[in-house]
């Protein structure tokens, strides 16, 4: 269902490996975190899916370290990980969080609106993306 008042979302790109694994993860999590799972599935559905070696380096994927600026002007760097690897104190953000689902597939310079678990709306802009070769996949 398309909401005419909803802002347009930026184009996102995923690799086929992440897309398949994240789709399964979202379906498995739909009973525990239904809102986030639904958001993640919607992001996967609208993404352009490429082979891993065709994904540009500035695109957020699993294991990427992302520096972003929020609509209040603050900057933060986080690494996007699977739930078992999440550690907020170390900046390791689960894909199964509202911000994790918002970050996946974005490129440097893109802005996206996202809603926190307490229903507050925010926007963030990607400043840089670093690929961590040692991250698990």
Sorting pLDDT into bands at 50, 70 and 90, what band is 136?
A: very low
Element counts in the chain: helices (H) and strands (E): 3, 7
- Are 127 and 69 in contact, with CB atoms under 8 Å apart? yes
Give domain limits for the chain: 13-130
The pLDDT value recorded for residue 7 is 59
Reported as a pLDDT band with limits 50, 70 and 90, residue 6 is: low
pLDDT value, residue 85? 97
Distance CA 98, CA 112 (A): 12
The CATH class of the 13-130 domain is alpha beta
Q: What is the pLDDT of residues 21-62, one digit of tens each?
A: 999 999 999 999 999 999 999 999 999 999 999 999 999 999
pLDDT confidence tier of residue 3, bands split at 50, 70 and 90: very low
Ordered alpha helix ranges (H), 79-118: 98-103
| Tokens matching residue 32 | 């525990």
């Amino acid at each position: 269902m398309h909401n005419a008042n909803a802002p347009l979302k930026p184009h996102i790109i995923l690799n086929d490996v992440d897309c398949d694994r994240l789709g399964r993860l979202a379906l498995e999590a739909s009973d525990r975190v239904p809102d986030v799972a639904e958001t993640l599935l919607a992001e996967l559905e609208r993404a352009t899916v490429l082979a891993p070696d065709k994904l540009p380096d500035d695109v957020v994927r699993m294991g990427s370290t992302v520096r972003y600026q929020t609509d209040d002007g603050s900057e933060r760097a986080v690494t996007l990980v699977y739930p078992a690897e999440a550690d907020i104190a170390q900046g390791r953000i689960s894909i199964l969080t509202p911000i994790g689902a918002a970050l996946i597939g974005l490129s440097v310079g893109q802005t996206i609106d996202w809603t926190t678990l307490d229903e507050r709306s925010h926007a963030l802009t990607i400043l840089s993306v670093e690929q961590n070769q040692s991250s698990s996949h």
